[in-house]
Amino acid sequence: MSDKKDITLSINGRDHKVSVDPRWTLADVIRDHCGQTGTHLGCEHGICGACTILVDDTPVRSCLMFGVQADGKKIRTVEGLANGNEYHPLQKAFMENHALQCGYCTPGFLMLATGILEAQPDISDDDLNDVLSSNLCRCTGYANIIKAVRAARDEMKAAS
């Protein structure tokens, strides 16, 4: 068996010192060894997008990175979205637009949308559709997810 490596993951501004087996995916390290279970795992092979998180502010699939590769990187997960008791505009928009039902895909959609709205605050509806096509939802349906992200985009732009 391979040797464990000591790494530090910065998750939502808090450092987690963990000893990882190189074969552990970043998603598994975040969930099982840092206790941050908001990030969900669906397919575990990069298709569904449920495990999408931000690494250095860029949306990536945490099942397709190894934890050891994230040593020292800035990780943001769904637990870091709200500001204290104040929901993030995307979280509010998801509630107001019925953009979640079972909620399993929601953390992935929220982090994907956070990443794209921070990078491109003026993104067009068409380009947003294209980005949101990255992730799968099997119960809510996409119309309300798209509606919610558009609403959050407009609100975040108005507030900035």
Partner 1 sequence: MKPAAFEYHAPTTIDETVALLAEHAPNDGRILAGGQSLVPTMAFRLARPTHLIDINNVADLDKLVIEDGALCIGATVRHAQFHTPACDGVLGRLLTDVVSNIAHYPIRQRGTFCGSVAHSDPASEWCMVTAILDATMVAQSASGERLIPAAEFFETVMTTTLNEDELLREVRIPVLSDDTVYGFQEFNRRAGDFAISMTLVTYRLEGGKIVDPHVGVGGAEDRPRRIAEAEAALAGQAPGDDAFRAAADAAAAALDPMEDHATNAQYRRDLTATLVRRALENAAS
Find the shortest distance in angstroms from Cβ 102 to partner 1. Answer: 21
- 11 vs 60, which CB is nearer to partner 1? 60
- 41 vs 148, which CB is nearer to partner 1? 41
- 102 vs 119, which CB is nearer to partner 1? 119
Find the shortest distance in angstroms from Cβ 104 to partner 1. Answer: 16
Binding residues (CB under 8 A) for partner 1: these are: 1-3, 5, 21-25, 28, 44-47, 49, 52, 58-61, 63-66, 68-69, 112, 115-116, 130-131, 133-134
- 116 vs 152, which CB is nearer to partner 1? 116
Distances (CA, A) of 97 to 5, 23, 64, 147, 151: 44, 39, 31, 7, 9
